[in-house]
Amino acid sequence: MVNVAKALKSLPDPVDVLCAASAPNALFSSRKEGFVWPRFSLHNLTDVDQPRNPNITFDLRSLTFSPTGNIPGKPGQVYVLVRLTLVKLPPDPPTGVIPPELSFPGLVRGAPANLPPGKHIYQLTMLFGPGAHPSVKLNYDTIRRSVPGFGCNVDVLEVYAELIRRNEEGTAWRLGGDWQLCLDDIVIDFIEKSAPDTAAGPEEEVESRFERMFMTVTSDGELDYDQAAGERIWRELQQP
């Protein structure tokens, strides 16, 4: 937690003094080798022997965030991709002992792709173009009017951002490293069921799903659903 008014000299950029939605404090986060990932959870993710309570989950209601500083480059040639990933973890085995190969990879350099079978991932990717950006308030209740249930009853929220650029030939996007984020006002609803949900059969319980949505963010903070553009960039980033 950083008091942006008092930490002005150590901020990534002077513009970030305005990034706290409820001044003066905000969170600053990015992934760094050897450090914990920016993740929030109701469970201890680092202890594979500690059982999780599958009857306690949460719905993300809203959060406010912005990429720090000024994103360098020309429009259409560079973006910061902010990835907001909500994960519903599968239930623990009946024995209560989770094999290491099936456990959540922990908070240190774990990757969503390595989550155990039975996971359900909701990923929202926000594309910010060049320049400085005001903070964006993302309301998940609004999103769920279009996609019912998106990000409901989850265990983990993961937030990180990456800089991407067009290659010299202009034929593909390439990763340029992680980008720091300013986060504030994360609002969630805790959900506690009185008894395990036994309505789903065994096949449904182990099903893994990955749902993703893409938005672009204008320089004045307006949001635009742009699934086609996001999917195209996604495919280009997978190219060798």
Q: Locate tokens 């680092």: which residue?
A: 46
Residue 76 has what DSSP assignment? T
pLDDT of residue 203: 38
Domain membership of residue 24 (yes or no) is: no
Domain membership of residue 113 (yes or no) is: yes
Domain membership of residue 18 (yes or no) is: no
Q: Using CA of residue 138, residue 141, residue 142, residue 147, what is the dihedral sign?
A: positive
pLDDT of residue 180: 93
Q: Locate tokens 């209601």: which residue?
A: 61
Q: Quick check: 107 and 46 in contact, CB under 8 A?
A: yes
Collect all residues with Cβ–Cβ distance below 8 Å to 50 and sequence separation of at least 6.
43, 44
pLDDT of residue 200: 44
Query: Hey, which residues does 215 pair with through a beta bridge?
Result: 126, 225
Which long-range contacts (C-beta less than 8 Å, at least 24 apart) are formed by 92-100? 92/51, 92/52, 92/54, 96/51, 97/49, 98/48, 98/49, 100/48
Domain membership of residue 1 (yes or no) is: no
Token code pair at residue 159: 């937030």
pLDDT of residue 95: 64
Domain membership of residue 229 (yes or no) is: yes
What pTM was computed for the model?
A: 0.84
Q: Which of 210, 211, 213, 188 is nearest to 124 (CA)?
A: 213
Can you tell me the distance from the alpha carbon of 92 to that of 166, in angstroms, rounded to the nearest whole number? 42
pLDDT of residue 40: 86
Q: Quick check: 113 and 121 in contact, CB under 8 A?
A: no
Per-run averaged pLDDT (10 residues), the chain, 240 residues: 86 89 89 74 71 84 94 93 87 63 52 61 92 92 91 90 89 89 94 64 56 86 87 83
Domain membership of residue 42 (yes or no) is: yes
Q: Which of 42, 53, 41, 60 is nearest to 149 (CA)?
A: 60
Can you tell me the distance from the alpha carbon of 67 to that of 15, in angstroms, rounded to the nearest whole number? 11
Q: What's CA 132's distance to the chain center, in Å?
A: 21
Q: Which domain holds residue 74?
A: 29-237
- Tally of domains in the chain: 1
Tell me, what amino acid is at 126? M
Token code pair at residue 61: 């209601």
Domain membership of residue 62 (yes or no) is: yes
pLDDT of residue 204: 43
Domain membership of residue 16 (yes or no) is: no
Residue 64 has what DSSP assignment? E
